[in-house]
Copies of this chain bind each other. A is one copy, B any other.
Amino acid sequence: MRRFVSEGAKSLSLVSRPFLHRFEELLHLRFLSSTSVLDCPLSSSPSSSPMDPTPLTVDTINPKVLKCEYAVRGEVVTIAQRLQQELKDKPGSHPFDEILYCNIGNPQSLGQQPITFFREVLALCDHPSLLDKSETSGLFSADSIDRAWQILDQIPGRATGAYSHSQGVKGLRDAIASGIEARDGYPADPDDIFLTDGASPAVHMMMQLLTRSESDGILCPIPQYPLYSASIALHGGTLVPYYLDEANGWGLEVSELKKQLDAAKSKGVSVRALVVINPGNPTGQVLSEENQRQIVEFCKKEGLVLLADEVYQENIYAPEKQFHSFKKVARSMGYGEEDISLVSFQSVSKGYYGECGKRGGYMEVTGFAANIREQIYKVASVNLCSNISGQILASLVMNPPKANESYESYYAERDGILSSLARRAKILEDAFNSLEGVSCNKAEGAMYLFPRIRLPEKAIKAAEAANTVPDAFYCKHLLNATGVVVVPGSGFGQVPGTWHFRCTILPQEDKIPAVASRLTEFHKGFMDEFRD
Given contacts A5-B263, A130-B139, A229-B31, contact A42 B469 (CB under 8 A): no
Please choose the segment from A153-161, A329-337, A411-419, A446-454 that sits at the chain B interface, where 4 or more of its residues have CB less than 8 A away: A153-161
**Interchain CA distance A237-B5 in the complex, whole Å:** 14
> Which of B9, B40, B133 sits near A139, CB closer than 8 Å?
B133
> Which of B65, B71, B109, B241 sits near A156, CB closer than 8 Å?
B109
A360 to chain B, nearest CB (A): 8
**Interchain CA distance A157-B15 in the complex, whole Å:** 65
Max chain B Cβ within 10 angstroms of own Cβ: one of A127, A270, A358, A369: A127
A56 to chain B, nearest CB (A): 6
Contact in complex: B123, A209 (CB < 8 Å) = no
Tell me which residues from 217 to 267 in chain A have a Cβ below 8 Å from any Cβ of chain B: 217, 222, 226-227, 229-235, 237-243, 256, 259-260, 262-267
Q: A28 contacts the other chain (Cβ, under 8 Å)?
A: yes
Residues of B close to A232: CB separation below 8 A: 34-35
Q: A514 contacts the other chain (Cβ, under 8 Å)?
A: no
A491 to chain B, nearest CB (A): 7
For A201, give the chain B residue with the smallest CB separation.
Answer: B383
Given contacts A233-B34, A357-B164, contact A46 B267 (CB under 8 A): yes
Contact in complex: B464, A23 (CB < 8 Å) = yes
Contact in complex: B256, A65 (CB < 8 Å) = no
A362 to chain B, nearest CB (A): 15
Contact in complex: A122, B111 (CB < 8 Å) = no
A470 to chain B, nearest CB (A): 8
Given contacts A62-B211, A139-B135, A375-B61, contact A123 B130 (CB under 8 A): yes
Contact in complex: A354, B267 (CB < 8 Å) = no
Please choose the segment from A384-392, A436-444, A515-523, A524-532 that sits at the chain B interface, where 4 or more of its residues have CB less than 8 A away: A384-392
A361 to chain B, nearest CB (A): 11
Residues of B close to A33: CB separation below 8 A: 67
Contact in complex: A56, B496 (CB < 8 Å) = no
**Interchain CA distance A231-B384 in the complex, whole Å:** 13
Given contacts A163-B357, A469-B27, contact A241 B6 (CB under 8 A): yes
Q: A504 contacts the other chain (Cβ, under 8 Å)?
A: no
**Interchain CA distance A111-B46 in the complex, whole Å:** 53
**Interchain CA distance A267-B37 in the complex, whole Å:** 7
Given contacts A46-B267, A238-B37, contact A114 B51 (CB under 8 A): no
> Which of B160, B204, B239 sits near A357, CB closer than 8 Å?
B160
Q: A480 contacts the other chain (Cβ, under 8 Å)?
A: no
Q: A404 contacts the other chain (Cβ, under 8 Å)?
A: no
Tell me which residues from 450 to 495 in chain A have a Cβ below 8 Å from any Cβ of chain B: 457, 460-461, 464, 469-470, 490-495
Q: A381 contacts the other chain (Cβ, under 8 Å)?
A: yes
Contact in complex: B51, A269 (CB < 8 Å) = yes
> Which of B57, B136, B214 sits near A40, CB closer than 8 Å?
B214
Contact in complex: A119, B109 (CB < 8 Å) = no
Contact in complex: B212, A60 (CB < 8 Å) = yes
Binary per-residue interface labels of chain A (56-72) against chain B in the complex, 1 for a CB within 8 Å, 0 otherwise: 11101111111111111
Binary per-residue interface labels of chain A (1-39) against chain B in the complex, 1 for a CB within 8 Å, 0 otherwise: 000011111001111010110011011101111111111
A132 to chain B, nearest CB (A): 11
Q: A143 contacts the other chain (Cβ, under 8 Å)?
A: no
Residues of B close to A162: CB separation below 8 A: 106-109, 356-357
Q: A346 contacts the other chain (Cβ, under 8 Å)?
A: no
A81 to chain B, nearest CB (A): 8
> Which of B111, B156, B496 sits near A28, CB closer than 8 Å?
B496
Q: A289 contacts the other chain (Cβ, under 8 Å)?
A: no
A421 to chain B, nearest CB (A): 16
Tell me which residues from 361 to 407 in chain A have a Cβ below 8 Å from any Cβ of chain B: 368-369, 371-372, 375, 378-379, 381-390
8 example contacts (A-B, Cβ-Cβ < 8 A) are as follows: A6-B263, A19-B464, A30-B69, A30-B469, A41-B268, A46-B266, A70-B382, A111-B159
Given A30-B469, A208-B234, list of 10 further CB < 8 A pairs? Answer: A5-B264, A7-B260, A30-B69, A37-B269, A40-B213, A40-B268, A57-B369, A65-B208, A65-B379, A109-B163
A-B pairs, top 4 by smallest CB distance, nearest first, are A34-B67, A43-B268, A34-B233, A15-B497
